[in-house]
A and B are shown apart, each in its own frame.
Chain A
Amino acid sequence: MERSPRIRVLIAKVGLDGHDRGAKLVAMALRNAGMEVIYAGLRNTPDMIAQAVLEESVDVVGISSLAGAHVETARMVIESLKKKGVGDVLVVMGGIIPKKDYETLKKIGVQGIFSVHASFEEIVDFIHKNVPHIQGASS
């Protein structure tokens, strides 16, 4: 499969939480910013995420978490990504995430964490700066 020059982002909810307002908004905003967005919706398992990253040649995975399970979720997703050999993808999270968990999340491998008031601009900039080697993508 030929690699698209555009940044490809997978936005997903993992686990059972149904709060999807934020996930949808970020998906739309990244699309408006010229990225190719795959919106995976609710109730994804970590393996589904890893599989999608593999099949869809995704550069960025954005996980939305609002029901308090962010640390476990991050741990499981990143484990699955590594197992599938796609551990180099950029993982970012957003939602209701207390600051005290930021360090834990970063250690696990979540590179960007965006809280309630993060602007779309901030998120887009972060992705442009941190996405690993995309051919043709603006930085």
Chain B
Amino acid sequence: MSSPAEKTGFVPEEDYTHTREAKLDSGIPIKKLYTPQDVAHLFYERDIGDPGRFPYVRGIYPDMYWKRPWTRRLYAGFGNPAETNQRFKFLLEHGQTGLSLALDLPTQIGLDSDDPLATADVGRVGVAIDTLKDMELIFEGIDLGKISTSFTINATAAILLAMYVAVGEKQGVSSKNLRGTVQNDILKEFIARGQYIFPPKPSIKIAGDIIEYCIHNIPRFNSISVAGSHMHENGATSVQQVAYTFCDALTYIDEVVRRGYQIDQFAQNISFLFCSRQNMFEDICTYRAARKRWAYLMRDRLQAKDSRSYILKFAAGGGGLWMTKRQPLNNIARATIVALASALGGAQSVLLAAYDEPFAIPTEESARISLNIQNILIYEVGLTDTIDPLGGSYYIESLTDEIDRKIVETMDCVEKNGGIVSLIEKGDIQRQLAKQAMQEEMRIQKGESVLVGVNRFVAEEEKGEEEMTFHEPDPMTRQRQIEQLTKVRRERDSQKVTSALADLKKAAVHGDNLMPPLIHAVKTYATLGEMVQILKEIYGTYSAPPGI
């Protein structure tokens, strides 16, 4: 595959010449040179705008990072509630105010830790939560009125939020003062992430329940974070990442507007999650175009009146798929570029994959490197000295405009073909992404797409994987969690549980908002699995089309 010359890292110059026209995955051709002509059709006030001004291409706030850098997030999981509590206290003592809670897979799909289907997955990629008791332990001694907590949770988001509300109540913190985020984006689970339980329609209904409940009772909570990153890593182009995510977001919005709410009552509680993939300029322009398109959608299509409803708040980062197992330290350079793309694209927070992503979940050291990459960008290189430093570049502005057009085109195409929900139900989106992922993979295997250290510049000698240290899960986690669950089951008032579950069932049958009966049920220490089981009886479970 590679010549001896390449192995030494020297590349013959003839290999460098572009043998084909550069073209983005979304089909946009890239020219050799951009000039004032490429932006002549753009009017600054109308098409770009100052930061904080419609259509927000240069950023959603007038001051952006000039006033406050982006939030650096760390997504990490700890096997059991007590360990997580220790870790959270440590982070809070060291000045962190935003916590991010990773949950294990059984919690994400509504299985108790003693469910046979959960055997291999308890406490592995995050903390296990079975009952309110676990949530109490996680936040023991932590004032929920003073922190914000981000939950990466979707299918069981309503239950987890109910538990958080209940813990707040026990601490004497009104739900009006709770701050945080629930991901609550179930549609992308069908497209890419796979952590769904119920069929799409009732799932959308539950997502709507959370948004609706938050409007009245938890107004400071981000009730949904619509995510494109998982589909992007699963084969979606940059344009599709935004277009499909916006289609998903509009689906949730319709669900809530249909119930009689005004868009301005909840638009500010919607945020987004995108990720970067290799082509830094494409990523930057995608984020800029996404801001513009969202502002138009909110103002013109949804008739939002409050300008605060126009702004697209998003987290960016990722990079996991780009990380290579060969010469893994190169991944630090890749993560730096992902962080740079996120920042130059105007992200509100950044969550970077760690360089050891192809091996295991991050160690403390690799996670710290991901944070420090961002600290270097913020504190050492002057990246935040001026707002939107790339604004006005012929290339950047022209590409932003072209990507915006493609986003519109792609959204139109979804709508003409029956809408995003129907395309997901038929498996069409999944098939399209799988096909594209295959093309990407073939380009790498054939060497058409360069991956340094993998298909070019391959080293003779590599630092042995044996010398690296990886995250080691605690083998006792599952057993401890099951003991705790058994104890809770034994000590609770089972009559109260039965009656609360009956109320939940009634609410589900009547189509009522599920949040109040769920809050009631979690307080009786009903288990996550019990509550989900009731809902499965009403809504059914979903079996996805194979999608290849």
Contact = CB atoms under 8 A, between A and B. Distances in A.
B445 A67 contact: no
Contacts of B359: 96, 98
Contact of B234 (A21, A42, A96, A120): A21
B193 A68 contact: no
Contacts of B473: 68
Contact of B325 (A15, A43, A117): A117
Contact of B121 (A17, A19, A41): A17
A28 B109 contact: no
Contacts of B523: none
Contacts of A24: 434, 437-438, 547-548
Contacts of B361: 68
A120 B119 contact: no
B264 interface: no
Which label, helix, strand, loop or mixed, suits the secondary structure of the B interface? Answer: loop
Identify which of B109, B111, B120 gathers the most chain A CB atoms within 10 Å of its CB. B120
Contacts of B192: 18
Given A16-B109, A28-B438, A28-B548, A117 B194 contact: no
Interface stretch (A69-77, A85-93, A129-137): A69-77
Contacts, number: 99
Interface residues of B, number: 43
A11 to B, nearest CB: 9
A98 B194 CA distance: 23
B73 to A, nearest CB: 20
A28 to B, nearest CB: 5
Query: For chain A, which range describes its interface: under 10, 10 to 19, 20 to 34, or 35 or more residues?
Result: 35 or more
A69 B547 CA distance: 24
Interface in B21-64: none
B124 A67 contact: yes
Contacts of B194: 13, 17-20, 42-43
A75 to B, nearest CB: 9
A83 to B, nearest CB: 15
B235 interface: yes
A50 to B, nearest CB: 15
Which label, helix, strand, loop or mixed, suits the secondary structure of the A interface? Answer: mixed
Contacts of B454: 117
Interface string B348-369: 0000000000111100000000
Given A27-B548, A117-B326, A16 B118 contact: yes
B199 to A, nearest CB: 15
Contacts of A16: 105-106, 108-109, 111, 117-118, 121, 195
B233 interface: yes
A115 B119 contact: no
Interface in B102-116: 105-106, 108-109, 111, 116
A96 B471 CA distance: 13
B93 interface: no
Contacts of B119: 72, 76
Interface string A39-83: 101110100000000000000000000011100110010000000
Interface of B: 105-106, 108-109, 111, 116-121, 124-125, 189, 192-195, 233-235, 321, 324-326, 358-361, 434, 437-438, 441, 445, 454, 465-466, 470, 473, 544, 546-548
Given A39-B546, A99-B465, A116-B325, 9 more contacts: A16-B106, A24-B437, A24-B548, A28-B438, A39-B548, A41-B547, A67-B124, A68-B124, A117-B326
